[in-house]
Amino acid sequence: MPTRKPARSRKPPVALAPLDVLLPPLQAGQAADLDGDADLDGVLFDGTDLSGVHADGASVVDCKLSACRLDEARLRRGRMASCLFEDVSATALDMVDTTWVDVVMRAGRLGAFVAHGADLMRVAFVGVRLDYVNLRGSTLTQVRLMNCRVGELDVGEAKVTGLQLEECVVEQLVLTGAHLAAVDLSGAQLHGLDGVGSLSGAIISQDQLTRLAPALAAHLGVEVNHAP
């Protein structure tokens, strides 16, 4: 009687970040409320100009920022939890070494989003225009980009688990030195990629594989004979 081979165990798929945040009743906030080491809970910033705010170490929980300007704002080493950013804009936003948990950013545009060394868990960007995103050396867990247009997305040296790009256009993706697991790039139009050697752990489409073939061959030291 033939022996039956044991079934291969399959890892369960990584859960996707939610696309909305359930918020409690909110009280109106002012720009002066957001400063260094501020502890905000259940605050609504509606059309508030937060440009130039320096709020290093601030804790922002169960809050909503709607149609706010954040030009040159800085919130380094801060914590964002259960927050909704809706139609916000910034020429540059400095979020270095921040912690994000259960955050959704919907619509709006960020020129430079600098968050290297950050820790993002269950974070979604939906319909956002992102010219430059610096997440080098960050930890990303269940991060989702949907219907976004990105100039450059840099996750070099980052630890990335469960990143999903859905119907996105990414002009340049930087993966150099990144560690990827369950990273689905197949739903994106990728026009450029740095760090092809760090693609292990990623899911790509057939079209992406065809486009990346020359770079993959070069990385592996494979010479392609184009003779008929």
**pLDDT digit string (tens) for 66-116?**
999 999 999 999 999 999 999 999 999 999 999 999 999 999 999 999 999
Rounded distance between C-alpha atoms, residue 78 and residue 97, angstroms: 7
CATH class of 34-115: mainly beta
Give the pLDDT score at 212: 80
Angle of CA points 218, 224, 225, to nearest 5°:
160
How many whole angstroms separate alpha carbon 45 and alpha carbon 59? 15
**Do residues 69 and 92 make contact, with C-beta atoms less than 8 angstroms apart?**
no
CB 155 within 8 A of CB 172: no
pLDDT at 5 over 80: no
Q: What pLDDT does residue 14 have?
A: 64
Query: Which pLDDT value is given to residue 217?
Result: 76
Cα separations in angstroms, 42 against 28, 62, 65, 144: 9, 5, 11, 24
d(CA 154, CA 56): 23
Percent of the chain with pLDDT over 90: 79
123 DSSP β-pair partners: 103, 143
For the chain, the structural domain boundaries read: 34-115, 118-216
Confidence grade of residue 4 (pLDDT, cut at 50, 70, 90): low
CB 112 within 8 A of CB 131: yes
What is the pTM for the complete model shown? 0.89
Give the mean pLDDT of 34-50: 95
